[in-house]
């Protein structure tokens, strides 16, 4: 669509939503300052103590609008089969009627903002463009951080660049059909009528009723993953829920690793890892989304399309992620964390003891018996440029060559600390069978185990069986030598007493070291039914208080429990019917065969 098409589309949305005014955003610093001023005046932002937290703000959402709403997220493909069994589907024409009815007059009394944005460096061949229309100044401020909002995007569109139209409304007009005015609130939303809708064939996004970032910042999960995954399928690349890092060894050799973990399972911590072992260095290229494309030589190149970090606050501390703490010392938007009496922020895990005089995330004086002071899914949002561990090549237009891909989730049992796949096909099987304990990042019972293939269950914009097949085809179109090696990791395995067997956080650098040594051929590992694990003595444990018993438990492959896992996986695969790629069925059968003849010890 051309620039003329864009202007016509903006006019059509304005005619439908009937805002008081229309403001085209240019991405300037002055624009962001005026939006922040407006948000403070509206009561949406609380300005934090500038001596403690310069240019930083706290937002409190409506308590009913605190997370992504997966049951209200729809993939409205022309065919229900194209959406697949893991997505909510509605016939597109029915949904369009519903959206028109919902959006009719939805912006009365409000300003309609038009946000031209880029996912990726403007001008890069890997970049995708979008234009989000919203009536939420919070969205404008957050999009300034999370994407590249710029008038230069309009120049790219004028030159013929494709762009994704995205429409968002909080669903709370200030003037009704009769002209009666309603007083605004600090966090407008319509939580009883939330829709996050994607039309894959026409590359459109419509979001209604929620102001929360995962539902309203439409460049993130909606464009970069749900619509992005469809673009990737059609154009021969991958849009993935992954972090991206550069690892430099003591010999100054550089490697690039991506990793897919479900939300709130440690992506940001690994993305900003500060190794505990001497001589190793990790630099951040991205913490949440990675686009992967093959180059002319068949090597896969990766890029982070985002411009900021939107991380989970609880559990983040100087001990778990000191780089994140340092990076949010200024220019940060916090959402649903607690407020200290001296105008700073706090959340569970930031310190062992909560400071006195806290105001909780709902705005009430907090006492310890009232539950968490910060919402479990409370967030921090800051620009990539803040990141103290940022890699200087993070905006490299052509991306970086990918050497390894990691898959992982929260598993208290079964899954070993680290295992290398036997092949690309086996690695795809690893990704397809990720399961993780439910976290607070999405609605649902916390702690329940659920399948989350490639950590993409809420984000794949088409039939996941076809998605598995697309991953397999990426391997078939290249040579084994050119492809990244695939590993599975699990920092969360527990012992019989319920304690974590692995210290995690900075010590995960020891696992990264083993992975790099695998890439360099410095260690051989031991073949197990689930993959190649470190042989005895290969994992660097110098100075680490991990007992031999805990180490054995970290890598134990129990036949009985894994046999149950095989049957669970078979039942999960059955849900995809005949569309499930045959290669994954073969990998499941191979796993079952290896379990029956499994190697009894890592020391063999």
293 in Cβ contact with 301 (< 8 Å): yes
Which candidate, 17, 14, 44, 22, places its Cα nearest to that of 175?
Answer: 17
List helix spans (H) across 266-410: 267-271, 318-327
What spatial distance separates the first Cα and last Cα of the chain, rounded to whole Å?
Answer: 62
- φ and ψ of 76, to 5 deg: -100, 65
Tokens of 417: 């600390």
To 5 degrees, how large is the angle CA 529–CA 533–CA 536? 120
In terms of phi and psi (left: phi > 0; alpha: psi -120 to 50; beta: otherwise), the region of 498 is: left
Indicate which residue of 25, 76, 265, 381 is catalytic: 265
How many DSSP H helices and E strands does the chain contain?
Answer: 16, 29
Which candidate, 132, 115, 177, 135, places its Cα nearest to that of 42?
Answer: 135
Could you give the CA distance from residue 493 to residue 409 in angstroms, rounded to a whole number?
Answer: 10
Tokens of 547: 């007992």
Which candidate, 263, 231, 230, 558, places its Cα nearest to that of 410?
Answer: 263
Could you give the CA distance from residue 384 to residue 391 in angstroms, rounded to a whole number?
Answer: 10
- φ and ψ of 485, to 5 deg: -85, 150
DSSP annotation of 51 reads: T
Count of CA atoms in the C-beta half-sphere (13 A) of 565: 22
DSSP annotation of 124 reads: -
265 annotated active-site:
yes
DSSP string, 183-213: ---SS---GGG-EEEEETTTTEEEEES--SH
Question: Cβ-count burial of 189 within 10 angstroms (0-12 exposed, 13-18 middle, 19+ buried)?
Answer: buried
Sign of CA dihedral 427, 429, 432, 435: negative
DSSP annotation of 484 reads: P
- Which residues sit opposite 167 in a β-bridge? 133, 206
Could you give the CA distance from residue 92 to residue 98 in angstroms, rounded to a whole number?
Answer: 10
Long-range contacts of 582-591 (CB under 8 A, 24+ apart): 583/425, 583/428, 583/429, 583/472, 584/428, 584/429, 584/432, 584/468, 587/425, 587/426, 587/428, 587/429, 588/429, 590/426, 591/429, 591/529, 591/530, 591/566
Tokens of 130: 């979008």
272 in Cβ contact with 321 (< 8 Å): yes
Which candidate, 454, 433, 334, places its Cα nearest to that of 48?
Answer: 334
3-state secondary structure 397-452: CCCEECCEEEEECCCCCCCCCEEECCCHHHHHHHHHCCEEECCCCECCCCCCEEEC
Under 8 Å CB-to-CB from 545, ≥6 apart: which residues? none
Please identify every residue annotated as catalytic: 265
């Amino acid at each position: 669509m051309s620039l003329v098409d864009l202007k016509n589309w903006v006019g059509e949305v304005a005619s439908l939503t009937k805002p008081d005014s229309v403001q085209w955003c240019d991405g300037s610093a002055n624009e962001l300052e005026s939006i922040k001023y407006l948000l403070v005046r509206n009561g949406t932002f609380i300005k934090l103590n500038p001596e403690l937290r310069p240019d930083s703000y706290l937002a409190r959402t409506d308590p009913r609008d605190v997370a992504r709403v997966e049951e209200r997220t729809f993939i409205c493909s022309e065919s229900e089969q194209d959406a697949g069994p893991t997505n909510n589907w509605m016939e597109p024409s029915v949904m369009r009627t519903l959206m028109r009815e919902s959006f009719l007059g939805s912006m009365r009394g409000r300003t309609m903002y038009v946000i031209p944005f880029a996912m990726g460096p403007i001008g890069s061949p890997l970049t995708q463009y979008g234009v989000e229309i919203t009536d939420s100044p919070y969205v404008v401020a957050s999009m300034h951080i999370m994407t590249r909002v710029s008038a230069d995007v309009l120049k790219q569109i004028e030159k013929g660049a494709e762009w994704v139209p995205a429409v968002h409304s909080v669903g709370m007009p200030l003037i009704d059909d009769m002209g009666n005015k309603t007083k605004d609130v600090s966090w407008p939303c319509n939580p009883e009528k939330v829709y996050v809708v994607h039309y894959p064939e026409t590359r459109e996004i419509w979001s209604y009723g929620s102001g929360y970032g995962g539902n309203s910042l439409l460049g993130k999960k909606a464009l970069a993953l749900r619509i992005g995954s469809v673009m990737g399928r059609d154009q021969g690349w991958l849009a993935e829920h992954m972090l991206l890092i550069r690892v430099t060894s003591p010999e100054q050799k550089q490697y690039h690793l991506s990793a897919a973990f479900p939300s709130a399972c440690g992506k940001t911590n690994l993305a900003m890892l500060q190794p505990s072992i001497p001589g190793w260095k990790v630099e951040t290229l991205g913490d949440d989304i990675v686009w992967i494309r093959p180059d002319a030589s068949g090597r896969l190149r990766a890029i982070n399309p985002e411009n900021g970090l939107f991380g989970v606050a609880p559990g983040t501390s100087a001990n778990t992620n000191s780089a994140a703490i340092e990076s949010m010392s200024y220019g940060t938007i916090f959402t649903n964390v607690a407020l200290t009496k001296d105008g700073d922020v706090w959340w569970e895990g930031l310190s062992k003891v909560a400071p006195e005089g806290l105001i909780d995330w709902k705005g009430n004086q907090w006492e310890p018996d009232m539950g968490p002071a910060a919402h479990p899914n409370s967030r921090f949002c800051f620009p990539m440029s803040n990141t103290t561990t940022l890699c200087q090549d993070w905006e490299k237009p052509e991306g970086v060559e990918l050497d390894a891909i990691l898959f992982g989730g929260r598993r208290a049992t079964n899954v070993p600390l680290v295992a290398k796949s036997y092949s690309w096909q086996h690695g795809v099987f690893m990704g397809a069978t990720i399961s993780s304990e439910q976290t607070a990042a999405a609605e649902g019972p916390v702690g329940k185990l659920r399948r989350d293939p490639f950590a993409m269950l809420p984000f794949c914009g088409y039939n996941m069986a076809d998605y598995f097949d697309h991953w397999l085809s990426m391997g078939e179109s290249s040579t084994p030598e050119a492809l990244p090696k695939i590993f599975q990791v699990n920092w969360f395995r527990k012992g019989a007493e319920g304690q974590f067997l692995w210290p995690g956080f900075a010590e995960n650098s020891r696992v990264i070291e083993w992975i790099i040594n695998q890439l360099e051929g410095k260690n051989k590992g031991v073949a197990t039914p689930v993959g190649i694990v470190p042989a005895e003595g290969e994992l660097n444990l110098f100075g680490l208080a991990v007992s031999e018993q805990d180490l054995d438990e970290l890598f134990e492959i129990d036949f009985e429990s894994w046999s149950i896992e095989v049957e669970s996986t078979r039942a999960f695969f059955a849900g995809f019917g005949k569309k499930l790629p045959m290669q994954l069925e073969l990998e499941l059968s191979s796993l079952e065969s290896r379990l029956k003849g499994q190697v009894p010890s890592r020391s063999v």
